[in-house]
A and B are shown apart, each in its own frame.
Chain A
């Protein structure tokens, strides 16, 4: 076996530059553009990032980023090819990335699987590389890239593997709903910040020039909104929900 020694390769450098660049992106579309450009350097012309199948979600709703030729995409959706796709199926069984040619199916017994792989070739998706992603919670995801005759030379697979993981993670982070809407008033946050700093209600009342009773009322109200039994729990919950920072 030839060991990839990426330290001195062109592809190692490209992959690390990509990891840095993708962290600075502001939208899933930007991630897709960067990723598309990078994989094109190795002759991959198409990609898709999607969640792995679960009982409820259709393939359309599992797509995170679609870099397929538009026509292939519409055929795949219209004819509901996902359940027959041997690449997708293999993702459920493998934690390691694999070449499309290593996704097993029975040509005789599974004509639809064969048909998916054959028809993809009409869209310059003849050979591919797929990175399954498993979280330990939930159904996981996959990034699959393909082309007419992509370069599978030394150092390419590890670089594609790394870039796929970071591209996917970035898209996922950008799509993640932002922290639960804030519920505290500015004053409640201010009082909790001082509580977090170890100040008593009396000290807070002096600092903010309010009565001790009012300081206590702000704390009680914040604790109530945060579903916390006491002021320490209120501080912890406020930190967790991003209401205050230390």
Chain B
């Protein structure tokens, strides 16, 4: 089973090779596979303005191999929703210190489809909830293709629309907010055969929610 590694500015030095592989995978998946040509980079590493020192990467790894990932950005700074797709949030942008935007969720081709349980996708989704609970994050905002909405719901996530489905480059897209609760985490684990904790905090101190509140 894959583990989900928490990679931040504080421990990225431990993940030099893995991060390099990660940005190449993003190029392979978003540019080569999904043809989002505006993301193409001459060096084959897909890095954009939302890869900053504030970004947290949750990387699903089998040993040293990256097999999938999620990216988290604070909503108090620029996000995809605020800067690129504000039309998806006409009910109002969410900007709160305890709300993060999820983006660039992917699983490598060889780990998609029917696989032994739990699937990489499930590990990422359960681990993302686990991370949020540990860090005192209460909401995730997400810009997604609308057809993904039922896939999130199927994993027990509770999504509320921030706008109506809107056509962008021929695909229906939507902005949503997902509530973080222990119930959702347990639900995702239960439905997708994830056995509890999947996070690896290499070189990091996982901060309990009450400590975070105390820290201000």
User: What residues make up the interface of A, taking CB atoms closer than 8 Å to B?
Assistant: 1, 3-7, 11-12, 15-16, 19, 95-97, 132-137, 141, 155, 158-159, 161-162, 165, 168-169, 179, 236, 239-242, 245-246
Tell me if B44 is interfacial: C-beta within 8 Å of chain A.
no
Q: Are A19 and B161 in contact (CB under 8 A)?
A: yes
Q: Is the interface of B mostly helix, strand, loop or mixed?
A: mixed
B41: min CB distance to chain A, Å: 27
Residues of chain A lying within 8 A (CB to CB) of residue B161:
15-16, 19, 162
Residues of chain B lying within 8 A (CB to CB) of residue A96:
147, 171-172
Tell me if B149 is interfacial: C-beta within 8 Å of chain A.
yes
Name the CB-closest residue of A to B114: A137
Residues of chain B lying within 8 A (CB to CB) of residue A4:
164, 166-167
Tell me if B189 is interfacial: C-beta within 8 Å of chain A.
yes
Contact pick for B146, options A15, A161, A241, A245, CB 8 Å: A161
Q: Are A162 and B165 in contact (CB under 8 A)?
A: yes
Mark contacts of B172-216 with chain A using CB atoms, 8 A cut-off: 1 yes-contact digit, 0 otherwise: 101000000011001001100001110000000000000000000
**What would be 13 A-B contacts, judged by CB atoms less than 8 Å apart?**
A12-B90, A12-B163, A133-B147, A134-B150, A134-B151, A135-B151, A136-B121, A158-B166, A158-B172, A159-B164, A161-B146, A162-B161, A165-B149
Contact pick for A161, options B165, B182, B183, CB 8 Å: B165
Q: Is the interface of A mostly helix, strand, loop or mixed?
A: mixed
Residues of chain A lying within 8 A (CB to CB) of residue B146:
161, 165
B58: min CB distance to chain A, Å: 19
Name the CB-closest residue of B to A168: B150
User: With the chains together, A132 CA to B149 CA distance in Å?
Assistant: 12
Mark contacts of B118-148 with chain A using CB atoms, 8 A cut-off: 1 yes-contact digit, 0 otherwise: 0001000000000000000000000001110
| 8 A-B pairs with least C-beta separation | A7-B90, A236-B196, A95-B147, A6-B164, A158-B164, A135-B154, A158-B165, A133-B150
